[in-house]
Amino acid sequence: MTEVNRMAEHLFRHESGKMLAVLTRVFGFSNYDIARDVVQDTLLAALEQWKLNGIPENPTGWLYTSAKNRVLDRLRREKKMAEISPDIAYEFQSEQQMQQHIDQLFLEHEMEDSQLRMMFACCHPSLPPEAQITLILRTLCGLSITEIANAFLSNDENITKRLYRAKDKIRSTPIELEVPYGDELPARLDAVLKAVYLLFNEGYNSQHPDQLIKQDLCEEALRLGTLLSQHRYTDLPKTAALLSLMYFQASRFDARQDDEGNIILLANQDRQKWNRERIGAGIAFLNKASQGPEISSYHLEAAIASYHARAERFESTNWQAIMYLYRLLEQINPSVMVQFNKAIATGFAEGPQRGTEALQNIKGLENNAYYHTALGDFFAQLKDSNSAKLHYETAIQLTKSKAEWQLIWKKIEML
């Protein structure tokens, strides 16, 4: 991949959502497709011109200027004033006013405000929950159809249909770009937080065959979570709990792979490479999250992550406490993946036989590579090499990641 292509991919991840949020405020949420067209045209123009003339000194500034000019040209040339959001149309009485207002919207604090508005517009109650999260991941976070499908354990066709239906609903439903408050806030904030966490997870355990960790996606999730924590309506304990969880997880980036890209399991990671500043941020946000009576799933997951982060050695991890927390988590947020993680914790807390039994009682993970790898690990500890090999071989067939494939193959060789 050329330097221009790498820069374009990086900017698409980090800047397309920002520009889209701003331009949606210009055109209105019902005209979301128009804003998206302008953003895509801007990114394509950047790719073409930078290949010819080289990357500019300030590529982000180049993108913003190009996007602003394209909006003004569209409004000026085609006289499409009807496309402008009614909320700001009164300010566009002259071309100078248009220019000034669009320049204002591209200021840093206005862009942050636009992204918050966009997140909550995507989570309007008129849209189905899965469509809400899909829209955020697609519009604000720049995830591809395939990445979103992986995050939902779905396929490209289903995600494409979901997006099409969501866009059709947006065109026919008056949805305001604003951060809700009062009774409207809790449900919509839950959807926003879930989307941010899905974004982080896709970066932390990417399904991309050549890239186990997409750190830029995790950084974007942390950035969006921070925006939520800085707004008076969304600075709530569960927001802090999610940030705590993500910071604890992100602290291990540098220890998760060796120089050749091979996976280093938690038990074998050099804990000196864990980022102490991020662990400190995780602890601070966990303390902040404890202020109030609410206990969300993010509180429990962050508490679990804190036990890992604070253990000086893998052997000193308090697995009994982690198992207990997973039992609580299963009560408030029952899911097959919570059952899976609880089974792993059970195996470490009470022995591989109990872990194997707990895993075998789970239904619905027969096609999950992590499930079969975990079973293989427990059978290996029980000296049942035949069963371990069977599950490892199944896991190899199911994984899409080269790094995971290599790790599982090493486990088979060690048998």
Q: pLDDT for 287-326, tens place per residue?
A: 999 988 889 999 999 999 999 999 999 999 999 999 999 9
Burial of 81 (0-12, 13-18, 19+ CB in 10 A): exposed
Asked, for residue 267, whether it belongs to a domain, the answer is yes
pLDDT at 34: 86
Are 35 and 133 members of one domain? no
Are 120 and 90 members of one domain? no
Asked, for residue 336, whether it belongs to a domain, the answer is no
> How many angstroms separate the Cα of 315 from the Cα of each of 40, 308, 345?
50, 10, 13
Q: Which of 192, 249, 256, 260 is nearest to 218 (CA)?
A: 249
Domain that includes residue 192, residue range: 114-216
Are 186 and 131 members of one domain? yes
Of 132-146, 185-199, 272-286, 369-383, the least confident = 132-146
Burial of 93 (0-12, 13-18, 19+ CB in 10 A): exposed
Asked, for residue 296, whether it belongs to a domain, the answer is yes
Asked, for residue 230, whether it belongs to a domain, the answer is no
Q: Which of 263, 109, 315, 115 is nearest to 195 (CA)?
A: 115
Q: Among the residues of 173-260, which ranges form H helices?
A: 185-204, 215-229, 237-250
Average pLDDT, the chain: 87
Asked, for residue 198, whether it belongs to a domain, the answer is yes
Are 63 and 121 members of one domain? no
Q: Which of 128, 132, 129, 134 is nearest to 152 (CA)?
A: 134
Asked, for residue 81, whether it belongs to a domain, the answer is yes
CB 65 within 8 A of CB 49: no
Among 55, 79, 106, the domain boundary falls at: 106
Indicate the pLDDT class of residue 170, thresholds 50, 70 and 90.
confident
Are 34 and 89 members of one domain? yes
Whole-prediction pTM: 0.80
Among 317, 340, 358, the domain boundary falls at: 317
Q: Which of 286, 243, 249, 241 is nearest to 269 (CA)?
A: 249
Number of structural domains the chain divides into:
3
Asked, for residue 358, whether it belongs to a domain, the answer is no
Asked, for residue 142, whether it belongs to a domain, the answer is yes
pLDDT at 4: 74
Q: Is the pLDDT of residue 243 over 80?
A: yes
Indicate the pLDDT class of residue 217, thresholds 50, 70 and 90.
confident
Of 34-38, 61-65, 206-210, 390-394, the least confident = 206-210
Are 81 and 9 members of one domain? yes
Are 4 and 94 members of one domain? yes
Handedness of CA 267, 268, 269, 272 (dihedral sign): positive
